[in-house]
């Protein structure tokens, strides 16, 4: 069924809006996904502040070019779906990669994040990162480690000095008694 020129312009405009709102776009081959599976993934991505939609390749290419985005390679061959987000990009990658592990016909093609092209393997690696709160906690732990080690060092030195003074005090009554 042919799409009218007005409908094509509307879709290109919609795709450009999505590109304008988001800093990351992950392309996936949406072959073999049921409507229910697509809706479940769409809801999961929407919860994290992202978007997911199946696109028309030629219109999506046009939107990428008009928006000034680099065209991913491989990108627009076969049935294509786009996941887009600005906030929690590793969570978006994880949602898409998890579904690709469950469904062999659904696979990650490539991505554009902050204008930089990423391969499918890089997206899989990104998906394996721990969630943002865990990363922040780890970073905070690394940043506070030197301070806590320094405090431990001072405490140990003070403890040793107190032990020497206590041993001296303990030895004094014995010397006075003798």
| CATH code, domain with 97 | 3.30.70.1730
Domain that holds residue 44: 5-129
- Across all residues in the chain, what is the average pLDDT? 85
Same structural domain, 84 and 172: no
Per-residue pLDDT of 28-41, as tens digits, reads 998 888 889 889 99
Same structural domain, 98 and 164: no
Same structural domain, 93 and 142: no
Same structural domain, 84 and 140: no
Query: How far, in Å, CA of 66 to CA of 24, rounded?
Result: 17
Same structural domain, 12 and 100: yes
The residue among 140, 6, 26 whose CA lies nearest residue 72 is: 26
Instruction: Out of 89, 111, 129, pick the residue that ends a domain.
Output: 129
- pLDDT at 169 exceeding the cut of 90: no
Instruction: Out of 111, 129, 147, pick the residue that ends a domain.
Output: 129
Three-state SS for 43? Answer: helix
Instruction: Out of 110, 129, 148, pick the residue that ends a domain.
Output: 129
Q: Is the pTM of this model over 0.75?
A: no
Q: Which token pair is 71?
A: 């065209």
Looking at the structure of the chain, the number of domains it has is: 2
Average pLDDT over residues 49-61: 91
């Amino acid at each position: 069924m042919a799409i009218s020129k007005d409908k094509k312009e509307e879709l290109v405009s919609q795709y450009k809006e999505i590109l304008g709102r988001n800093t990351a776009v992950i392309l996936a081959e949406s072959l073999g996904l049921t409507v229910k599976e697509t809706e479940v993934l769409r809801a999961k991505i929407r919860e994290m502040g992202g978007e997911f939609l199946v696109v028309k390749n030629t219109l999506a290419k046009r939107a990428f070019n008009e928006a000034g985005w680099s065209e991913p390679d491989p990108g627009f061959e076969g049935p294509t779906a786009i996941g887009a987000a600005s906030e929690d990009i590793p969570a978006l990658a994880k949602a898409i990669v998890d579904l690709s592990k469950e469904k062999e016909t659904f696979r990650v093609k490539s991505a554009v994040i902050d204008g930089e092209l990423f391969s499918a393997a890089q997206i899989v690696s990104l998906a394996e990162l721990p969630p943002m709160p865990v990363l922040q906690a780890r970073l905070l732990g690394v940043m506070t480690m030197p301070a806590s080690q320094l405090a431990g060092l001072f405490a140990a030195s003070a403890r040793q000095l107190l032990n020497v003074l206590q041993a001296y005090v303990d030895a004094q009554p014995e010397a006075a008694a003798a």
